Structure 1
Amino acid sequence: MLKTRYLILSLLLGGLLIRYWPHEPLAVAGSTAVLAQDGTLLRLTLAPDQRYRLWLPLEQFSPTLITAVKLQEDRWFYWHLGLNPVALLRAITETYGGGAKQGASTLTMQLARLKYRLNTKTPTGKLRQIALALWLEARYSKHDILEAYLNLAPYGRNIEGAAAASLVYFGKAPKLLTLPESLTLAVIPQQPNQRLGSGVSLNDARQRLWQRWQAAYSASPAQIQLMTLPLPVKRLEQLPFRAPHWVEQRLADTAANPVATLNTTLDLQLQTLLEKHLQQYLAQTRSRGINNAVAMLVDSRDQSVRALVGSADYFNASISGQVNGSLAKRSPGSTLKPLIYALGLDQGVIHPATILRDTPSAFGPYQPENFDGRFIGPLSATDALIKSRNIPAVWLASQLKNPSFYDFLQQAGISKLQSAEHYGLALVLGGGEVSMVELASLYTMLANEGRLKPLRYLKDTPPSKGEVLISEQASWLALDMLSKNPRPDGGSNAWPVAFKTGTSWGFRDAWTAGTVGPYVLVVWLGNFDGQGNPALIGLEAAAPLFFRIADALALAKPADKPMPKRPPSGLAQINICTASGELPNTWCPQQSSTWFIPGKSPIRVSSLHQPVHIDTRTGLAVCPPYDPAHTKTEIIEFWSSDMARLFKEAGVPRRKPPHIDCSGMASLGDAPKISSPLSGLAYTLRLSRPDETIALQAAASSEQLYWFDNQIYLGNAKSGGIAWRPQAGGWHQLSVVDDQGRSDSRQVKVELLP
């Protein structure tokens, strides 16, 4: 009796040791299914052994399919140890007793045959199958065995597993199978090639299983109705081959660690939209020698890449169609200029209305020219950007510090840059090379308040906080400036659009990049071999395609129409003198408003317009005392000599100010004098009392007074003063300027206490 107990205990321990001793998983290398964001199949790759086999966990199969498979193959699966003696005895009796040939293989036995490639038509092969089935049951759980069978069952030709079969025959994930589809897949593994070759055989087998299903389970009226409908089954040749460049790049990214399923962010509707418009546009422009195009669409709300077309025709060898043009390094032309202006805004070099000079200029040995060979003269920063003037952009880049434009591009992750000395200021005009993916990332950064975040290609990629490279205020201003860029066709936009075109040297690349509602869109036209073409001009070649897609986006995704975007906090609007871009003095004839960043944007009172007293008899300027009967006052623009020359060269000469050898321009009244705060006193403010302020007041004959703190514009007041609460303690240089340019200043010490 004791020996028997030891024997039983030994057997139990041996069984536990076999079950839980580390052993290799049943899974084998399989295919990869690349899916769009809605689960639609884009591509199903071949496994290393040239079979379509998509290995998925059991939990990702439809419960209906699992039930149908067990009903068809092995109803007693959970009750046997790999061999069903009753079924085996019945099969032997029927097969060798003159009846119809029957099989008795359990799911475990079938798995043994599939996994170990057994020939079970011989007695020896059958015995090996039984032994291996018992071995599998001893080592693996029922869960693992059923999972392995579903992933290895034959489904015709080189298709293995219900997951791959579900995608091939029904174009859907196995978890989404309906009852008719589940019953169909359950009967295919028995004689798969014969049944798939004969619709009658397949339908008959499914109908017999349906009858057994109704006998074993209750069928709902909806299921009964569904079974009466025809069931279309696709062929292997109909496997989709969508978004090839996108898919191949995702597969390359995961080649080191392949996975069964890649759930991408690609929106198939938008992918189709881009492909259609590229093909249609190129069909219309091919007579101009434009043969290839690339486009990319990013959702700036979550950085997900929604569509990407790497070439106009993947299968066209004459244009190297299989090359993914979105990854190619190319000259961006002027498409980087918005980043330069954003940095200039952020570093306090300009505000949107700052007057810049478009004139022949030399920056050391570098003498840039404009695309059209002309020079406009003085113009606002906004106009300089949307008109893509090169000289102002190069000058602005020369003023950037911490970071310089080159340092900024390195921080933004632009790869394969050579040294800063190699490019010099030519980097501003496309001297360096970027890829479309990198350019889209930069524009997405502007749309995301200056925060650079990695682009997302897979749905399960977690969002990133990213890194702030440009302030929220400067990013918004840069896009606001671009939004004033008119469409080349003169049409109107359904969604807000801010765009910039670019043309590379030698007419090799035509670009347009920008924001369209919540999306960032970049398009490129050219030739992959770098051949130039005078038709490849950004505004004329790429912009029309950009706006075709932009208009189609608004129609395709009406629910994505953005709400009006408010300016971020930290921005203020001020009135400026339109001609000078500075605070208006008393004599400024025309004012307009502009945004600026308090504490950053350069601002001062304009001295451009000054009153001059003219003798009506001679037309010359006169000095006081004036003869009222023969004197008139005129407001004249006093441009510097170099600016006057620019206006003349631009064809819009300005009136030359008269020569004055007296104080004829002197203004009347007293200059402003600060009365508060007092000199020599320290002012104390408590952090716990945010309502405490210091009064800024001055005595002046002028009504308009502008206040500054260390050259930072604080505000203006027509009369009285303003309330000031400094952000930091210490010494402050306060100054006040009236609308005639006269000023007063004093130093004040401020202490901040809890």
Structure 2
Amino acid sequence: ATLRYEDKYYARHPGVNPIALARCAINLARFHRATAGGSTITMQVARLRFHLHTRTVPGKLEQILRALELERHYSKNEILEAYLNLAPYGRNIEGIGAASQIYFDKPAAQLSGPESVALSIIPQSPGRRALFTERDNRSVNLAQSNWYDRARVDTDLEFSPREFHPRMQTERKFLAPHFVEQVLESSQRQGEIITTVDLEKQQAIERRVADYVAINRHRGMENAAALLVDTRTMDVLAQVGSADFYRTDINGQVDGTRSARSPGSTLKPFVYALALEQGLIHPLSILADAPRSFGEYNPENFDREFLGPIRACDALARSRNVPAVELASHLAHPTLYEFLKNAAVPLPKPESFYGLALPLGGAEVSMQDLVRLYAALANDGELRPLRRTVNDPLAKSRRVLSPEAAFLTLEMLGNVPRPEMNCSDGSHSAPVYWKTGTSHGFRDAWSIAVFDHYVLAVWVGNFDGRANPAFVGRTAAAPLLFQIIDSLRSSWPEPNSPHLPPPGANLKRVEFCALSGDLPNAFCTYSVEGWFIPGVSAIKTCDVHREILVDVATGLRVPIDDGTRHLRREVYEFWPGEFLTLFDQAGVPRRMPPPFLPDNGSELASRAGQKPVIVSPNKKEIVLASVKTIPLRAKADGDVRKIFWFAGKQFVGKAAPN
């Protein structure tokens, strides 16, 4: 249709039509300017490709020379393909592929005869023949009639002119705009690109995000973003960069999934994963949620309170800051910084710049990087890049965590209670492994989840960085996260698969003392079952529960049985002094051992507990010269009353533990 309308001698001329050129030359002589009608398909490609001004004599001559040059270097089919890809089809529509999609909602290869005719006549007058108004359609129908009248002279037609109705440009939406923009920026592929986006999920999440922001706008929430990835292939199924791509007042065209922002506590799981991998803890290890000083850095918890002894799994589930920083201070090769760099997370500053604030959101990270990291937990510690086009092969994975550490970390995230929400479809029973984050200054609220075979991340905030006390991960982002998860799960017929250890993983499940988190001894009363990594996890026999000798008459402790008194054996709890202080502050009574009976031999005769451990200053801690005092703190057994401090052989002083 295009050749019949634009250049019916295309197959026979060398790039220019001599007869048409002669007609053009006569017009030049009469009117002193070039007129339309003399250009071949090849000449039009030259004009479009090299942006020539052909209404002047020099411009027309250059067009002819360029056309002859194109014919020498390219085949007729290649030149025709170039024309169809460059030709204007009204408004800002360029190329037959875009035109067929916009006007007829189908690929060019599927156009019918009348549809091909309709499109073939637009490039000659794209301003008057774009199919958007009734006037445009009248112009097209008139041109079509002329086309058919001429065509019937040469051949019998099997179709008749098509009647057109206006198709407004607004009827065709820019689908998944942030996703498409990123694909176009990064793709090197020419021609058709088949993407990974799941349009049904994309549009469902877009609606959820827009509705959630609209409902919560009175709380100062203007924007949100979400990203859904299939962990099996790393295919991006939905990418919602803002609440509304077309709203300039909220900077809707900014892609929140690519913006680097403070992640809050969303990096904490990787501190625990590294601590598990390096044998510092197992999930039931007891950590101290207590005041700590790391040089001049004094981290606090979100609620400004301390819980005292707390299991590692609970410390992560309740997002306690101090235990996370304490663990981060003991990580070595890799540290959290080294782990993130190895995972290709952009951190422009050296490790010393971020310090121990890194686990609490001290660096800016994008949602896309966070999703990659959480997908590594779901993929047994294997990290892979996100995938957006099905033309791309599945990327080779790279190990960043051991399978055991990845599994245990995900298990610990399964203990996080979901926010209070109404849910009628019963999806509360399905496992979700998730974490929240709140940036310093309440500028960003995060929530990220691994569920079934997917990772979903949600961010709530404002692109201008304005603070808002409502931007708390658990109350601002988590409700949207679970609305999306429940909506997705309601349409999935398949049952949720249980989270099982990876095949061949070096993991063992044993009984632990419920109080100390160590292997139970003969005196432990209650036990719980838990995982550990044989040969790696820090695991020992409980020494909190100990049996001692008590004088029946006085109720005081006796170090040894010398046969002179009536004694009985009783089990008491021996907690480090720092824990005792916290128990006292919380009003939690513990079964502490009684003091020793005076003048009954040396207390050292019964010393079988833990040796004192210095907790301040930390090992390898750098102290500035301007610091005038260095706090000395140590933890010791609960029955230790005094600790004596020495610098080398020089006595410094004595003080109570903690």
CA contact (8 A) 2:225 2:459 kept: yes
1:656 equivalent to 2:592? Answer: yes
Counterpart in the other structure of 2:611: none
CA distance in 1, matches of 2:457, 2:9: 59
In the TM superposition, what is the alpha-carbon distance from 1:429 to its structure 2 partner? 1.5
In the TM superposition, what is the alpha-carbon distance from 1:377 to its structure 2 partner? 0.9
1:452 equivalent to 2:399? Answer: no
SS in 1 for 2:490: helix
Gap change, CA 1:199 and 1:377, over 3 Å in 2: same
1:597 equivalent to 2:597? Answer: no
> Unmatched 5+ residue regions in structure 2?
21-36, 604-658
1:277 equivalent to 2:208? Answer: yes
In the TM superposition, what is the alpha-carbon distance from 1:116 to its structure 2 partner? 4.5
Counterpart in the other structure of 2:75: 141
CA distance in 1, matches of 2:2, 2:549: 103
TM score, norm. by length of structure 1: 0.65
Counterpart in the other structure of 1:55: none
CA contact (8 A) 2:287 2:311 kept: yes
CA contact (8 A) 2:347 2:363 kept: no
SS in 2 for 1:155: coil
Gap change, CA 1:587 and 1:180, over 3 Å in 2: farther
Counterpart in the other structure of 1:462: 393
In the TM superposition, what is the alpha-carbon distance from 1:350 to its structure 2 partner? 0.5
Counterpart in the other structure of 1:173: 107
Residue number among 576, 587, 594 corresponding to 1:640 in the alignment: 576
1:540 equivalent to 2:475? Answer: yes
Counterpart in the other structure of 1:339: 270
Letter in 1 for 2:315: A
SS in 2 for 1:335: helix
SS in 1 for 2:270: helix
CA contact (8 A) 1:111 1:148 kept: no
CA distance in 2, matches of 1:113, 1:621: 104
Gap change, CA 1:372 and 1:130, over 3 Å in 2: closer
CA deviation map 1:385-441 (0-9, x unaligned)? 011111111111111011112222222223244232223212222222222222222
- Identity across the alignment (%): 45
Counterpart in the other structure of 1:725: none
CA deviation map 1:141-187 (0-9, x unaligned)? 33224323433555345545322211221233323445664454356
Letter in 2 for 1:518: H
Further displaced range: 619-628 or 275-284: 619-628
Residue number among 84, 88, 93 corresponding to 1:150 in the alignment: 84
CA distance in 1, matches of 2:210, 2:195: 24
| 1:215-614 mapped onto 2 (5 Å cutoff) | 234-253=167-186, 259=190, 262-489=193-420, 492-493=427-428, 495-556=430-491, 558=492, 562-568=496-502, 569-612=505-548
SS in 1 for 2:100: helix
SS in 2 for 1:544: helix
Further displaced range: 181-190 or 618-627: 618-627
CA distance in 1, matches of 2:229, 2:43: 48
Gap change, CA 1:372 and 1:190, over 3 Å in 2: closer
CA distance in 2, matches of 1:210, 1:606: 98
CA deviation map 1:470-529 (0-9, x unaligned)? 111101111110011010116653653111111122222221122232222222222333
CA deviation map 1:571-628 (0-9, x unaligned)? 2211111111111112221111111112211111223223456677765567769999
Instruction: Report which of the two structures shows the higher radius of gyration computed on alpha carbons.
Output: 1
Gap change, CA 1:594 and 1:234, over 3 Å in 2: same
CA deviation map 1:666-686 (0-9, x unaligned)? xxxxxxxxxxxxxxxxxxxxx
Counterpart in the other structure of 2:612: none
CA distance in 1, matches of 2:66, 2:340: 62
In the TM superposition, what is the alpha-carbon distance from 1:540 to its structure 2 partner? 1.4
Counterpart in the other structure of 1:52: none
CA distance in 1, matches of 2:204, 2:7: 48
SS in 2 for 1:493: helix
CA distance in 2, matches of 1:373, 1:636: 31
> Unmatched 5+ residue regions in structure 1?
1-67, 89-104, 666-754
CA distance in 2, matches of 1:587, 1:264: 62
CA distance in 2, matches of 1:525, 1:400: 31
Letter in 1 for 2:500: R
| 1:699-738 mapped onto 2 (5 Å cutoff) | none
CA distance in 2, matches of 1:328, 1:135: 47
Letter in 1 for 2:457: V
CA distance in 2, matches of 1:158, 1:203: 21
SS in 2 for 1:336: helix
CA distance in 1, matches of 2:189, 2:394: 22
In the TM superposition, what is the alpha-carbon distance from 1:258 to its structure 2 partner? 8.9
CA distance in 2, matches of 1:417, 1:127: 55
In the TM superposition, what is the alpha-carbon distance from 1:356 to its structure 2 partner? 0.7
